[in-house]
Amino acid sequence: MDRTRKANREDHEATLQYRTKNEALDEAELIEEKLAQLHATVAQFEQTPQGISELQRRIKLYGQCTRLPDETSAQFYNKLRVWLERELPQKSPLNPPRQTGDGSAS
C-alpha cells in the first residue's frame, strides 16, 4: 500500500473540511437567527387558541421541547425544528359512526 497516497488523500479531506473562523462565525450567526425565527413562530402559536391547542397536543404527544444545558444552538435548532414539523395524528371522533350493513337482518 502506498502510504504517501493515503496521507495525501487524508490531507485533502482535512483541507476540504477546514473552515475559517469567519465561516464558522457566519454559520453560528445563521443558526442563531434561524433559532430566533423558530422561537418567534412558537410565540405566534401562543397568541391564538388554535395555536395553543396545537402546542398542547405536541407536548402531550412528543413531550416538552426544551434546551438541555449542554446542547449547542445547532442541536437545539434541529430538535425544535423537527418537533414543530412532525405530523400530528388526525383527531378521531369521540364516538365513531357505527358500521351499518344494508339494512337487512338475517
Which residue ranges make up each domain of the chain? Answer: 27-85
- Reported pTM: 0.63
Query: Is 77 buried (19+), middle (13-18) or exposed (0-12) by CB count in 10 A?
Result: buried
Q: Kindly state the cell numbers that stand for 50.
A: 388554535
- Please say whether the beta carbons of 84 and 34 come within 8 A: no
pLDDT at 89: 82
Phi, psi of 56 (to 5 degrees): -65, -40
Whether 83 has a pLDDT exceeding 60, the answer reads yes
pLDDT at 75: 93
Higher pLDDT, 105 or 78: 78
Whether 24 has a pLDDT exceeding 90, the answer reads no
Q: Where are the beta strands (DSSP E) in the chain?
A: none
In 3D space, the residue among 88, 83, 75 whose CA is nearest the CA of residue 41 turns out to be 83
